[in-house]
């Protein structure tokens, strides 16, 4: 059934410019990050002459690392039990508003205003343990993992997802929103929830 009026998003800022930064069309992450991925892979193969199989190997590591990063960000940052007023506001800004309005289409993928600083910090952290030039294909595939997550998340809220695997992910994530249980922090995969035993428990 269609809504009789346009959806009204929760307003996070009184300033119109800052408010606009919290909304994003779902195609934007692909337009922003796909060129970065292609540029990093171009540098890997053309500038650094890295061999294909090792690049694919570190690429698998990059995607796998994203799944753990996704889990940790969701569980420990986005659901951080803040006590101060500022802390509670930051948690609400990054994620709490999504729980209050989980079907807001303009807040289902991460806006570049939030994603770019997070990616920059992670790039610097990964650079402490992954030597150059391997950091570049690693981060390329890490970003691919992030894009997969973003669009799975969007799909779980707005598409039927009829295949068995897709339906499982949809139901798994919607239980995170609507079951009243604590857990199910993985969106693109339940793997880390299983490892850390957070697949769902009464609060």
- CA nearest to 64, candidates 199, 197, 186: 186
Q: How far apart are CA 180 and CA 166, in angstroms?
A: 22
Q: Could you tell me the two tokens for 44? A: 């890997």
How many angstroms separate the CA atoms of 22 and 57, rounded? Answer: 35
Has residue 5 got a pLDDT over 80? no
pLDDT(165) > 80: yes
Structure tokens given for 154: 């969007």
Backbone angles phi, psi at 74, to 5 degrees: -65, -45
In this prediction, residue 180 carries a pLDDT of 79
Rounded to an integer, what distance in angstroms lies between the CA atom of residue 24 and that of residue 104? 10
pLDDT confidence of residue 2: 44
If one compares 112 and 202, the residue with the highest pLDDT of the two is: 112
Over residues 1-23, the mean pLDDT reads 78
Tokens of 178: 């609507």
How far apart are the C-alpha atoms of 54 and 79, rounded to whole Å?
36
Three-state SS for 180? coil
CB contact at 8 A, 80 and 125: no
Task: For the chain, give every domain's residue range.
Answer: 25-195
């Amino acid at each position: 059934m269609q809504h009789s009026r346009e959806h009204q998003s929760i307003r996070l800022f009184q300033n119109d410019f800052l408010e606009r930064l919290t909304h994003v069309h779902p195609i934007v992450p692909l337009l922003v990050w796909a060129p970065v991925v292609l540029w990093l892979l171009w540098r890997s193969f053309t500038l650094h002459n890295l061999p294909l199989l090792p690049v694919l190997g570190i690429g698998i590591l990059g995607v796998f690392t994203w799944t753990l990063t996704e889990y940790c960000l969701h569980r420990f940052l986005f659901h951080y039990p803040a006590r101060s007023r500022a802390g509670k506001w930051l948690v609400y800004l990054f994620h709490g508003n999504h729980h209050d309005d989980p079907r807001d289409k303009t807040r289902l993928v991460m806006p570049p205003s939030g994603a770019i600083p997070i990616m920059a910090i992670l790039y610097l952290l990964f650079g402490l343990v992954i030597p150059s030039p391997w950091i570049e294909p690693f981060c390329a595939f890490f970003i691919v993992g992030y894009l997969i997550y973003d669009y799975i998340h969007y799909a779980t809220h707005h598409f039927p997802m009829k295949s068995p695997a897709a339906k499982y992910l949809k139901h798994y994530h919607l239980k995170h929103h609507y079951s009243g249980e604590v857990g199910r922090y993985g969106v693109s995969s339940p793997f880390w929830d299983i490892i850390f035993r957070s697949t769902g428990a009464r609060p």
